Structure 1
Amino acid sequence: MSAKVMPDAKGRQVWIAAISKKSGYSEELVASVLEKHGIRPKVTAAVPQRLMVTSLSFTGKKLGATPPSDIDFGPKPMGPGLWAVTSQRNFRGKTSILNIIRWCLTGRQYIADVMTSWFTAVTLRFTLDDREFEVRLSNASEGTGELLKHARGNEFQLASFSNHVEFEAAMSDFFMEELGLQKIENHIEKDGKGIDQPHGWVWLFTAMWVEPRPSALFGVQMPGAMSARMMQMYLGFPWVNTTNEIKAAQSRFRVKAAQSHLVSSGIRATTEGRIASLAAQRADLQAKFADVSPNTARLKLAEASQRFVNADADLRAFVAKKQVAEDDFESAKMAYAEARRSSQAAKESAAAGYVFRAIRPVCCPSCDEVITEEAAESHLRDHTCVVCKTPDRKGDDEEDTERTLLLAENEAKEQLDAQTTRVRLITSQINEARLARAKASEQCATAEAEIADMTTVEENTVRIQILDAQIAELRNLNQAETEAEDGDSKVLAAAEVITKEMYEVEQGRVLKRVSDLTKEYAVTFGIENLQSVSIDGGVRMKLIKNGQPTFFSKCTDGEKARLKVAATLAMLKVSEDEGVGRHPGLLLIDSPGDNAMVSVDYENLVSGISTLSEELKTVQIILSAVSGPVILSHVPKARRIEAVGDDYLW
């Protein structure tokens, strides 16, 4: 396209400056409003990519049959150009194959609920330009599978999913990112609340689906300007995504502003009523307390509060001291126990020595020599060992050790008694502090009650003055909010105008080309006496037939189907010629003859699509139809997936 695309930074600054000039607000305010509403400039034109189904296969068991029969379809290789899914009788699975393709590409199940459990594995291979991908469902009824990329002879997992919700999310994330698409939001009010309704890949895919009786020129019929925003996105104009964000922000803002107005109105009414009520209360209080002198309750409250604070501080300090004292008590307790054990052990050792020394051996323990009577009497007389003559009395060292250990035991006992007394004292102080704090708390409550019961005239005057100030502040806030809302509204309106101007001229030029090609293709498809077609930015199609103006919505179902195919192919042709656009170039046409289209028009449609598909070599068109001379003559056998006679396609 010939539209000029500025670098992002420069384009953003020019854009904000133009909005500032249009709205009359500063560039700083404009930038902050746009940031607040999540609006960002997107100035780059889209480069078209082509989506093409290259293979489809699926297995399972057809449970509706008697007896149940196995399903083993494909793999069916496919490529660019026109392809036909045909059978010689109706209800042989033609539309189901298109719906399975749609299911794999969107993640949303379109086959009948009764058939959901029939499918076990489903595999769809597709390409985006020269890159190859695969959707592989291992348990189709549960939505379990993975999205793969094939490159350099390897498989790379892009996503895995274990249910239908995850499957749909994975396909949406993939295609929205790869094709540079953006969810289009429609903001509505429901049950008094503003709700964002984002429409993503599942809805955008409807631009690739042509039903027998179309309700809209692109996609499906949607409220507001949703279809127009879809068309603009697929045309790939710079700034279109930004326009979508602005429109979504305006919609949200309108709902929020309406709700805010209701709230503000209620607040204002409540405030005015409150002012009147408080004025009456003030008069009553002035009359009631005219002779009342200022009371001393505040002083009492301050003093009681201070006592409470002091008692609370004492309590916390005593609790901390008690913890330390209890630790010291435990240490003293363990020291005393250890001293007692040591002293007792010394005493027991000495006693054991006496016992052993009192023993009268009858022979030497070394040589078994019998001890004489004289040696035994010497032992008793001299208090020496009968064998080695060592004195058997306790020495001075042993006595000193016993005295030292006894002294340590006594000191440990004294220390334990001291720590016990200390813990008891601190415990008593804690109890006293708690009582003091409780008493101060009661005094605070009493003083507060006195204040509540003895409100003075001065205090009530202050109260009323404070309330008057609050009311004045609320009124100022209401006024400021109204001004802010007006500012946001004007900035968004200016942003919409300026942004549209960025691509409106280019849009008009491109839509003129699309309109002219649509007319040319529609005539090829058998719509006779068609003098002109005009598609505007709102996706409104105006036609001149037999010299009379009419519109897409007034046409027959057969004409609508042909016009929808013609317009989509025209868009793809312009996209291919100018290298700009987001439509991926896949078109699924379901049973174009099922709308009372006469046979000659049906043949014109199929032959025209066949001719155009040779011209649009990167576009893939898959249609379902009852097999007949028209299909057989215009779609080569190699490009047909067909069932013969009473056979089913799968």
Structure 2
Amino acid sequence: MNFKFDEFVKYVHEIYAADFSLEEVKEILFLEEDGYNKSVPDSPQKRLLLRRIILEGKKNEDTTFKYDRPLYSGVSMWVADNLKGKSTIFKAIGFALTGRDKFTPLVKTWLKYIALEFSIKDAVYSVVLNLTGAQLKAAVYSSAIDSLAGEEPLRSFKSKDGLADFMQELFFEEFDYYPIKRVQASQPSINLSDADLTWVSYYSSIYHQSKDYGNLDIGNQHAMVFQMLLGLEYTFSIHALEAKAKKAEREWSLKTEQEKNQSITVEDLQKMQNDLIATNEQILKLRTNTEKKAIEAIEERLHSFQQSRETTRKEKMDGEDRLYQMKTAFNSSQVEIKEKQDLIQHSTREINKLRKLIVEYQDYIDSGIFFNNLEVTECPHCDHEVDKDKRLLEKESKICMLCDHEMTAQVNDIEIWQLRIQEAKQEIERNRLLSETENQVLINIEQKVKINDKKFASLENEVLKLENVLENLDKSIKEAEGHRNQLRATIEGDYFSKFENLLEQKIKTENQIAVAEKQATLRLDNKLKRKAELLRTGHELMLKSRKKLGQATLFQLEEIMLNQLHSLGLSSYTRVVINPDNFIIHYHQGNVVNNFNDISEGEQLRAKLALYLSLIELDLEKGVGRHPRLIILDSPTKEEADIHFVEGLKKTLLHIEEKFGEQVQVMVGTANRELASIIKSAEKLDVSESGQFVF
């Protein structure tokens, strides 16, 4: 259902009608890109499924490696000692999906190639990263890895930022994500920033490292990401209005502070006004000087001359620039004319040469093509030269001059010469058309050159006139300066320095009085303040609307989370409550209410998994939300985990496999070999021996 923006504007206008017109309220509350309808709760019904990962590289001069593994729905696990490559696989996946490189410096020297195949609903994609050079070479394809041969990529990249931008566009479009506007609290400026909540922020709800398990925050913006994953209505408009309100509040605060710093007492104001009166009296006395008035007239005339000179100088420079450009264009035209003439002459020579060939070819045909391709010029018996008349007689009589046998024409030879004549005629026609085309171009260029020659001559004349004007102006300025200097020499004392100082003092005092009078009225501009209040009112109204519309969704999520906690072995929890204002989750255990940080370390990971599994289940069963249904757990047991935590995690992973199966993908990397027992499918388990690297 579309948001009724006009009704919203009318409602807010009724509150602020004394300060703003209806159109002003509409302009203040307007959000670009249909912002009030951007957030919808309906799920896009899509999931992100990783299908295959390939890593290639070289650990030292002799040891190369290639790790190629298919990936599956449900729970998959990598079991290996710490620092043996599990995290590298997950970081390679993150690099391919986000364009952000989280590798350690040592691993960066190893890896040379990464390929990741994944699907979103029915669409299959492959990301290929070539790390062999100093510059990243990356490409994204719309096909599986095995089908890349000869396939053109959707896009190629030479930087991480380019890849990151493309992957953000892809996932934002597929999952209906968008950047949320916000104002940095620490920013000294008042400019909006919408670059913080990106695809990388949303990816933090997928990839979880051991350092994250004691913290429920999603990235750096828990509440914002939570709202996006839930798909709550009006999320975009709420944050956009809040950002605009903060900007207006900041502007108001800066202006108020500035005016306070400039405040002046009534006594100071009176003193400045008295000083201004005294200064004006001194200026009036100085202006009664007769020589001064004459100098002022000369100064005005001199100023006029100088302005005219500056204007004329600029006109002359512009004219000279245009002359240079026209001269350059003329030279280019001459080169082009020479090229066209050469081309036409070449075509004419080719035509003449081809016409001669046609005559020769026809002569061969007319005289009959006999077995005389090898023309005899010397007698093979006595080495004497064969008379030319004998050769002509041979062609006419068709009787061989050597053996007196009659010669028979070769049909094939006639066809060959006829074909050559046809080819020569075609080449003549091609050269003729080329010559005609180039000749027309040549005519056009020459006409254009003639026109430009006239313009050049006219402009050159104008520049010459401007040069004469400049000479006359320089002469007039020199004469005026000389006259002024003579008059100045006749004035006694330091009149001019006094006059300049008095004018400077007068301007300074007038400015100070203007500020002081503004402060003395104690009337600050309240419209900016009211604008901030109006935006806050709009923001609060949108919050109330979302709170009402999203109440059912939050209640459903709370019920699903409680059931998930019980399924994960946390049966002591009796209720889950999500604060609709700040989205902090409260966990009830009887009469005791805990925040996430209050929960024991052994239960925090399961509580965190319960949140994400509940978001996925809300999407699957209620059609609400947009979590990608992919979870990566890197070292979930950590080294200090006790046996109760490990048993709880085993039950959690078994629960995920049994309840969600093919609907989600959970990837676990652990050094705890006891966890491997829960994986029943060999293809989903990768176990490395103690001390051995995964790849």
State the TM-score, normalizing by the size of structure 1.
0.70
Aligned AA (2:64): D
In 2 relative to 1, CA 161–312 (structure 1 residues): closer, same or farther, beyond 3 Å? closer
Separation (CA, whole Å) in 1 of partners of 2:189 and 2:623: 43
Deviation at residue 262 of structure 1 after TM alignment:
2.7
In the other structure, the counterpart of 2:278 is: 284
Separation (CA, whole Å) in 2 of partners of 1:427 and 1:559: 90
Deviation at residue 158 of structure 1 after TM alignment:
3.2
Q: Which contiguous aligned blocks of 4+ residues in structure 1 show a shift greater than 6 angstroms?
A: 36-39, 151-154, 271-274, 289-293, 310-317, 426-432, 444-452, 459-466
Q: 577, 580, 586: which one pairs with 2:630?
A: 586
Equivalent runs, 1:598-637 vs 2, <5 Å: 598-616=642-660, 617-626=662-671, 628-637=673-682
Equivalent runs, 1:475-486 vs 2, <5 Å: 479=523, 482-486=525-529
Q: 61, 66, 77: which one pairs with 1:72?
A: 66
Aligned AA (1:553): N
Equivalent runs, 1:203-602 vs 2, <5 Å: 203-212=201-210, 213-220=212-219, 222=220, 226-269=221-264, 275=269, 278-285=272-279, 288=282, 294-295=288-289, 297-298=292-293, 300-302=295-297, 305-306=300-301, 309=304, 434-441=474-481, 453=498, 467=511, 470-471=514-515, 479=523, 482-537=525-580, 538-594=582-638, 596-602=640-646
Separation (CA, whole Å) in 1 of partners of 2:531 and 2:16: 10
In 2 relative to 1, CA 304–98 (structure 1 residues): closer, same or farther, beyond 3 Å? closer
Residue 160 of structure 1 aligns to a residue in which SS?
strand
1:181–1:233 CA contact under 8 A, matched in 2: yes
2:48–2:628 CA contact under 8 A, matched in 1: yes
In the other structure, the counterpart of 2:368 is: none
Deviation at residue 53 of structure 1 after TM alignment:
0.7
Separation (CA, whole Å) in 2 of partners of 1:281 and 1:505: 65
Deviation at residue 249 of structure 1 after TM alignment:
2.9
In 2 relative to 1, CA 589–33 (structure 1 residues): closer, same or farther, beyond 3 Å? same
Deviation at residue 289 of structure 1 after TM alignment:
6.4
Aligned AA (1:643): S
Residue 207 of structure 1 aligns to a residue in which SS?
coil
1:218–1:231 CA contact under 8 A, matched in 2: no
In 2 relative to 1, CA 31–290 (structure 1 residues): closer, same or farther, beyond 3 Å? closer
Aligned AA (1:497): E
In 2 relative to 1, CA 440–547 (structure 1 residues): closer, same or farther, beyond 3 Å? same
Separation (CA, whole Å) in 1 of partners of 2:573 and 2:655: 20
2:100–2:164 CA contact under 8 A, matched in 1: yes
Aligned AA (1:436): S
2:9–2:25 CA contact under 8 A, matched in 1: yes
Deviation at residue 300 of structure 1 after TM alignment:
4.9
Residue 296 of structure 2 aligns to a residue in which SS?
helix
Separation (CA, whole Å) in 2 of partners of 1:243 and 1:311: 59
Aligned AA (1:639): K
In 2 relative to 1, CA 174–300 (structure 1 residues): closer, same or farther, beyond 3 Å? same
In the other structure, the counterpart of 1:344 is: none
In the other structure, the counterpart of 1:641 is: 686
Larger displacement relative to structure 2 (554-563 or 12-21): 12-21
Deviation at residue 85 of structure 1 after TM alignment:
1.8
Aligned AA (2:629): G
Deviation at residue 563 of structure 1 after TM alignment:
0.6
Deviation at residue 562 of structure 1 after TM alignment:
0.7
Deviation at residue 57 of structure 1 after TM alignment:
0.5
Equivalent runs, 1:51-70 vs 2, <5 Å: 51-63=48-60, 69-70=63-64
Matched, 1:124 2:167: no
Aligned AA (1:216): N
Separation (CA, whole Å) in 2 of partners of 1:429 and 1:592: 87
Separation (CA, whole Å) in 1 of partners of 2:468 and 2:119: 86
C-alpha root-mean-square deviation of aligned residues, in Å? 4.2
Separation (CA, whole Å) in 2 of partners of 1:293 and 1:469: 24
Aligned AA (1:279): Q
Deviation at residue 54 of structure 1 after TM alignment:
0.9
Q: Show CA shifts across 1:500-543 (max 9, x none).
A: 22321232221221122112111222223111111223231211
In 2 relative to 1, CA 114–23 (structure 1 residues): closer, same or farther, beyond 3 Å? farther
In 2 relative to 1, CA 462–260 (structure 1 residues): closer, same or farther, beyond 3 Å? closer
In the other structure, the counterpart of 1:150 is: 143
Separation (CA, whole Å) in 2 of partners of 1:314 and 1:638: 87
In the other structure, the counterpart of 1:12 is: 5
Identity of aligned residues (%): 15
Separation (CA, whole Å) in 2 of partners of 1:608 and 1:311: 87
Q: Show CA shifts across 1:598-649 (max 9, x none).
A: 4344334333333334543432111112364543234422222332454321
Residue 198 of structure 1 aligns to a residue in which SS?
coil
Residue 157 of structure 1 aligns to a residue in which SS?
coil
In the other structure, the counterpart of 1:40 is: 35
In the other structure, the counterpart of 2:332 is: none
Separation (CA, whole Å) in 2 of partners of 1:169 and 1:266: 45
Q: Show CA shifts across 1:404-433 (max 9, x none).
A: xxxxxxxxxxxxxxxxxxxxxx99998666
In structure 1, stretches of 5+ residues that fail to align are 324-425
Greater fraction of residues in strand: 1
In 2 relative to 1, CA 468–52 (structure 1 residues): closer, same or farther, beyond 3 Å? same
Aligned AA (1:528): S
Aligned AA (1:516): E
Aligned AA (2:128): R
Deviation at residue 116 of structure 1 after TM alignment:
0.8
2:58–2:111 CA contact under 8 A, matched in 1: yes
Aligned AA (2:55): F
Residue 233 of structure 2 aligns to a residue in which SS?
coil
2:207–2:632 CA contact under 8 A, matched in 1: yes
In 2 relative to 1, CA 476–577 (structure 1 residues): closer, same or farther, beyond 3 Å? farther
Aligned AA (1:236): G
Q: Show CA shifts across 1:254-301 (max 9, x none).
A: 4444333333333445x9898466324224336656866745545653
In the other structure, the counterpart of 1:86 is: 79
Q: Show CA shifts across 1:158-179 (max 9, x none).
A: 3322233433333334323433
Separation (CA, whole Å) in 1 of partners of 2:467 and 2:38: 77
